[in-house]
Amino acid sequence: MLAIPDPHVRGGVELRPLESCDAEALFLAIDANRAYLRRWLPWLDQTRSPSDVRAFIEQNVDARRDDRALQLGICVDGGLRGAIGIHLVDWNNRSTSIGYWLDASLRGQGIMTACCSHVVAHLFDKLDLHRIVIRCAVENHRSRAIPERLGFVQEGVLRDAEWLYDHFVNLATYSRLRTD
Ligand SMILES: CC(C)(COP(=O)(O)OP(=O)(O)OC[C@H]1O[C@@H](n2cnc3c(N)ncnc32)[C@H](O)[C@@H]1OP(=O)(O)O)[C@@H](O)C(=O)NCCC(=O)NCCS
């Protein structure tokens, strides 16, 4: 099974694998941030109930069991307030990508930068990966600031690479190599 990172990120902030029993709490966090998340994430309209979230979590529990992917909940002061996902791991090329979201009321405190830094260190040091990718909509400046803070290199812009409900967005692609 895909090794999980040390839960402790910093005071009051912990990461832990999402389990089915988190579905209700995660749905409440998503629903409270629906409009804010919908601006940049493509899955809000298909996430209408705790059972939708449970189905997503269960797919990810299976993926984790098969060493393919890992979804971590972000707990702040004990409450589930966001998530960070290690998407499909390409073991042949020792590469993966990550994605993330956080409750709007917790923005601006460096929580997500700390979580990403923690996960990136885990992927390089414990899983021996070589390359990590983060893709952000070009206009999603808060998201782009995270790879930029963490020393990722922008490789280019993928044109019209993501469909967001009624329009395409260009994706800025960043990578960091173990050797960077
Ligand atoms: C992307 C997202 C997680 C970024 O949140 P964020 O709060 O800006 O990111 P961080 O938690 O890393 O916080 C960074 C901010 O904290 C500040 N900060 C305070 N202490 C800090 C520290 N120790 N380290 C880093 N930054 C710190 C930074 O200066 C920055 O503030 P600024 O926005 O005023 O420049 C959030 O906007 C979000 O969930 N958006 C919706 C979903 C989304 O777009 N997901 C990404 C799809 S690609």
Q: Please state, in angstroms and as integers, the Cα–Cα distance from residue 49 to each residue in 44, 75, 161, following that order.
A: 10, 21, 28
Rounded Cα distance between 115 and 160, Å, is 28
Q: Does ligand 1 lie within 6 Å of residue 172's CB atom?
A: no
95 pLDDT more than 70: yes
Distance in Å, CA 73 to ligand 1 centroid: 16
Q: 8-177 maps to which CATH number?
A: 3.40.630.30
End-to-end CA distance of the chain: 27
Q: What is the mean pLDDT of residues 81-102?
A: 97
Instruction: Please provide the DSSP assignment of 7-59 as one string.
Output: SEEETTEEEEE--GGGHHHHHHHHHHTHHHHHTT-TTSTT--SHHHHHHHHHH
Among candidate residues 100, 86, 64, 72, the one with its CA nearest the CA of residue 14: 72
Is-contact 61 69, C-beta < 8 A? no
| Amino acid in the structure at residue 173 | T
pLDDT for 1: 66
Q: What is the mean pLDDT of residues 93-119?
A: 98
Cβ contacts of 145 within 8 Å, gap of 6 or more: none
Q: Which atom of ligand 1 is nearest to the CA of 135?
A: 48
pLDDT for 2: 83
Domain edges within the chain: 8-177
Q: What is the mean pLDDT of residues 99-128?
A: 98
Q: Does ligand 1 lie within 6 Å of residue 44's CB atom?
A: no
Rounded Cα distance between 136 and 132, Å, is 13
pLDDT for 30: 98
Distance in Å, CA 157 to ligand 1 centroid: 21
**DSSP character for 90?**
B
Query: pLDDT tens digit string along 14-52?
Result: 999 999 999 999 999 999 999 999 999 999 999 999 999
The burial class, CB within 10 Å (0-12 / 13-18 / 19+), for 141 is exposed
106 pLDDT more than 80: yes
Distance in Å, CA 84 to ligand 1 centroid: 13
Query: pLDDT tens digit string along 131-174?
Result: 999 999 999 999 999 999 999 999 999 999 999 999 999 999 99
Distance in Å, CA 142 to ligand 1 centroid: 6
Q: Residue 109 — φ and ψ, nearest 5°?
A: -115, 5
